[in-house]
Amino acid sequence: MDQVRDAGPTYALPRTAALLVNAKSRKGRKLFKEACRLLQAAGVELSMAEAIRKPSTMPDRVKEAIASGAPMVIVGGGDGSISCSVDHVVGSDTIFAVLPLGTANSFARTLGIPLDLPGAVEVIAKGSARRIDLGMIDDDYFANCATLGIAPQIAQTVPHGLKAWLGRPGYLLWAARQLWKFKAFRLTVDTGSAVETMDAVEVRIANGPYHGGVELVDEAAVDSGRIVVQVVMGETRGHLIRSWLLSVLRHRERRKTTREYEGQAIRLSTEKPMPISIDGEVLAKTPVTARIARRAIRVAAPSPAG
C-alpha cells in the first residue's frame, strides 16, 4: 500500500543516475549486474555503477556521487543502507531512488515501491519525484523508523550470515531467542506540553508505518509533517508478543496495546541510557529528541494513479 498520502506536486524523474549497491545486503551482490542491465534497458543511463563491498563506505560514495552532479542517486540495499545515505541528499537537488535488496525493506514498502527488482526499476524509469519528510534522532536523519527495546538488542547481536542465508525467517528466529533475555523499562515522554512516565516494552519513533517489514504505526506517514512515537505498554515480554501478534493480524485490539504521541519534536529518556536502532542500525542512546524534517528530500516513487 502506498503510504505517500499528500506529497504535493510530482515531477518527471531524470534519465541519468548513479547506482550504488550494498554488496553485503541480502540480495545486493547477487542482483547488482541484473540491476545495471534492467536500468539501462529501461533507458536510465548510469554515470556510475558500483557494488560496494564495504558498507561503511556507502555514505562517502553517495556524497561523492552528489558532488559530481548526479541528478539521481539509486541506492540498492536494506533500510540501513538507505538511512546512512539520506543525510547527504538533504539540501541537494539530487533525487533519491531505492532498490529494495534488504531483509525488511520497510522504507520501500512505505513508498509503495515493488519489492521485486523489475518492479522497482520500473518505478525509477517511469515514476515521479516527490518530496517527503525525514525523521531525526537529535541531528541524525533517518528514513523510516527508529526503535528502543528488543530491536536494538537484535541488531547488536544478530550474525550477519544468518540474515544473508535465511532472510526474514532467520531474523525472526534470532529475535525469538533474544526475546527471552529482554526486560521492560521505564520511559519518560516529553512532548513539550506534557511529561509522562510509564512502563514500556518497545518504542517506535516513526516517519512511516512499517517496522521490520510489518505495518505497525498506522498514524505515521512520510508526508504528514509530524514525527510519531508509538509506545508498546507493559511490564513483561508477553505484552510485546501480544502487541506484535495483534498488529500482524491487523486486529482492532492492537490499538489497546500502544499509546501514540505526535508532534514536531518529542523528548525521550529512560532510567538508564538505552541503545536506539535507526532503520536497523544501532546509532544512538537515550536521552534523545525525535524530530521531523519537513519535505527534506525528493524521492523516486510510483506515479499517482490516473
Is residue 208 included in any domain, yes or no? yes
The single residue listed with the C-alpha cell 530491536 is 151
Tell me: pLDDT of 241 over 90: no
Q: Is residue 251 part of a domain?
A: yes
Query: pLDDT > 70: what percent of the chain?
Result: 86
Top-confidence residue, 50 or 3: 50
Q: Which domain holds residue 217?
A: 141-294
32-to-29, 39, 53, 65, 99 alpha-carbon distances in Å: 5, 11, 12, 18, 10
Per-residue pLDDT tens over the stretch 102-117: 888 999 999 999 999 9
CA gap 105, 108 in Å, rounded: 5
Q: From residue 270, how far is each of 172, 202, 233, 236, 292 by CA, in Å?
A: 26, 12, 14, 17, 21
Total tally of structural domains belonging to the chain: 2
Residues 36 and 114 in one domain: yes
- Specify the pLDDT at position 167: 55
Q: Which residue has the cell 529528541?
A: 289
Residue 155 belongs to some domain of the structure: yes
Residue 103 CA: distances (Å) to CA of 80, 147, 164, 165, 280? 10, 17, 8, 11, 10
Contact call for residues 220 and 186 (beta carbons, < 8 A) = no
Whether 171 and 105 share a structural domain = no
Determine the 3-state secondary structure of 207 from DSSP: coil
- With a cut of 70, say whether residue 126 has pLDDT above it: yes
Q: Which three three-digit cell numbers place residue 46? A: 548510469
Average pLDDT over residues 157-179: 58
Tell me, yes or no, whether 42 and 92 share the same domain: yes
Contact 49, 19 (CB under 8 A): yes
Asked if the bond preceding 273 is cis, omega within 30° of 0, the reply is no
Cell of 126: 517511469
The continuous run of DSSP H or E covering 98 comes out as: strand 95-100
pLDDT tens profile 9-49:
677 999 999 999 999 887 888 899 999 999 999 999 999 99
164 and 125 within one domain:
no
Whether 145 and 100 map to the same domain: the answer is no
Task: Please state, in angstroms and rounded to a whole number, the distance separating the CA atoms of residues 269 and 203.
Answer: 11
CATH number for the domain including 48?
Answer: 3.40.50.10330
- 128 with 148, same domain: the answer is no
Residue 306 falls inside a structural domain: no
Q: Are residues 125 and 190 located together in one domain of the fold?
A: no
pTM higher than 0.85: yes
Q: Quote the pLDDT of residue 3.
A: 52
Give the C-alpha separation, 287 to 292, whole Å: 17
289 and 180 fall within a common domain: yes
103 in the same domain as 25: yes
CATH number for 280: 2.60.200.40
**Residue 306, pLDDT score:** 40
Mean pLDDT of 152-169: 60
Q: Is residue 2 a part of any domain in this protein?
A: no
Residue 1 domain-assigned (yes or no) = no
pLDDT at 165 over 60: no
Only one residue has cell 521485486, namely 116
Which among 172, 165, 164, 196 is positioned nearest to 261, based on CA atoms? 196
The reported pLDDT for the residue numbered 162 is 53
4: in domain: no
Name the strand (E) or helix (H) holding 186.
strand 185-190
**Which residues have CB under 8 Å from 120's CB, separation 6+?**
98, 99, 100, 108, 113, 114
Helix (H, G, I), strand (E, B) or coil at 64: helix
* 79 and 113 in a common domain: yes
* DSSP letter string, 7-58: ----EEPPSEEEEEEETTSSSHHHHHHHHHHHHHHTT-EEEEEEEESSGGGH
84 and 156 in a common domain: no
Handedness of CA 193, 197, 203, 209 (dihedral sign): negative
> What's the pLDDT at 196?
98
* Any domain includes 260: yes
Assess whether 165 and 249 both reside in one domain: yes
Helix axes 28-41, 117-126, angle to 10 degrees: 40
Per DSSP, the residues of 237-288 read HHHHHHHHHHHHTT-GGGGGGEEEEEESEEEEEESS--EEEETTEEEEESSE
Residues in the chain: 306
